[in-house]
């Protein structure tokens, strides 16, 4: 992603066509205003400082306005209906149950299916052909963004949906996420955002541990 960004930067400088970062951010946000729900396949890698890139994690993500989302991977299933969060690990058959709190949520692929958070500032935008790479920084120091140093997203002119994200935290850890087969306003049923606990699962209510 960093080499890709460097190539785009050089190409943009040579062509002299640099889009306004603010205009790109506004176009993306306008595109997502009419979206009620969305789904996509995703792939995610993590590169920590002085460590090799992690093995890619792949799965599906579904989200609906009202703080509802579901992330399914081979390693874990995370579901929330906006009130309760279920985190299920198939290998151990353990399910953690907690109350949903937007302030406690960390960044994940679902964050980008209904648009970019409001507390982000557009720093630069580099265009090559129809592809634009937009760099953003958090405007505040609270919530899920407090540990993030920068965010780079990729979009296409005219389409204005995000298909690649790179997050760098303040410790230098880089998380790269690619979104594919995105579907908007498919009418996702609310039942998708509720998790069915069975007798074979070991349940841990996090609220009882506080």
CA dist 154 → 45, 73, 85 (Å): 16, 23, 29
Q: What is the pLDDT of residue 108?
A: 66
pLDDT values of the chain reduced to their tens digit, one per residue, 210 residues: 444 443 344 344 334 567 899 999 999 999 998 899 999 999 999 999 888 888 899 999 999 998 899 999 999 999 999 999 999 999 999 999 999 876 555 556 677 788 888 888 999 999 999 999 999 998 865 556 778 899 999 999 999 999 999 999 999 999 999 999 999 999 999 999 999 999 999 999 987 776
DSSP state of 117: -
CB atoms within 10 A of CB 13: 11
Element (DSSP H or E) covering residue 25: helix 21-33
Amino acid 90: pLDDT? 95
The pLDDT of residue 201: 96
Token pair for 113:
């299916």
The domain of 72 spans 2-209
What are 182's two structure tokens?
Answer: 């995105």
Structure confidence at residue 143 (pLDDT): 58
Pairing of strands 84-89, 77-80: antiparallel
Can you give the pLDDT at residue 178? 95
- Taking the mean position of all CA atoms in its chain, how far away is CA 120? 14
Give the separation between CA 199 and CA 63, rounded to whole angstroms.
Answer: 27
User: Can you give the CATH number for the domain in which 86 is found?
Assistant: 2.50.20.10
Number of domains in the chain: 1
């Amino acid at each position: 992603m960093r080499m890709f960004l460097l190539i785009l930067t050089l190409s943009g400088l040579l062509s002299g066509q640099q889009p306004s970062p603010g205009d790109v951010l506004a176009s993306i946000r306008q595109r997502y205003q009419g979206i009620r729900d969305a789904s996509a396949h995703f792939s995610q890698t993590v590169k920590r400082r002085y460590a090799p890139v992690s093995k890619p994690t792949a799965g599906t993500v579904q989200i609906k306005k009202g703080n509802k989302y579901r992330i399914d991977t081979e390693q874990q299933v995370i579901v929330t209906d906006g009130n309760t969060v279920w985190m299920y690990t198939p290998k151990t058959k353990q399910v953690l149950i907690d109350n949903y709190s937007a302030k406690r949520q960390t960044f994940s692929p679902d964050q980008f299916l209904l648009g970019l958070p409001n507390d982000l500032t557009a720093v630069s935008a580099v265009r090559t052909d129809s592809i634009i790479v937009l760099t953003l920084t958090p405007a505040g120091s609270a919530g899920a963004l407090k540990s993030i140093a920068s965010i780079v997203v990729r979009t296409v002119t005219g389409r204005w949906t995000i298909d690649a994200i790179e997050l760098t935290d303040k410790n230098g850890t880089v998380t790269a996420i690619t979104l594919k087969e995105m579907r908007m306003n498919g009418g996702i049923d609310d039942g998708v955002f509720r998790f069915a606990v069975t007798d074979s699962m070991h349940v841990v209510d996090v609220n009882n541990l506080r």
